[in-house]
Amino acid sequence: MPHSRTTIMTPLQHLILHAVCVFGIHPMTQAAILWTRIAISEADGGNDWRARLCLIAHWTCMTITILLILGAVGETIRIAAFAFGL
């Protein structure tokens, strides 16, 4: 019989994870904006492949931002459930 490990998070750990998700959104959004500006600059200079790489980095930043938003919403729901005793 395989040993199954279940990790039970405390309310404090949920609060910390929520804070990490919330505070991580702004830097990732700013990084995406920076990559967009670099891509525009590279495209103006005629470097199409560099502009495409910058746009890939932009979309990667935006994907991470969306994941952080979803994580923050999920943790908010869990924190609310703890607060109401569910």
* Locus of tokens 């700013």: 30
pLDDT of residue 83: 84
d(CA 74, CA 68): 10
Residues (pLDDT < 50) of the chain are: none
Average pLDDT, the chain: 89
Domain ranges of the chain: 25-83
Q: Which residues of 53-79 are buried (b: 16+ CB within 10 A; e: fewer)?
A: ebbebbeebbebbeebbebbeebeebe
Query: What's the confidence (pLDDT) of residue 54?
Result: 93
State pTM to two decimals. Answer: 0.79
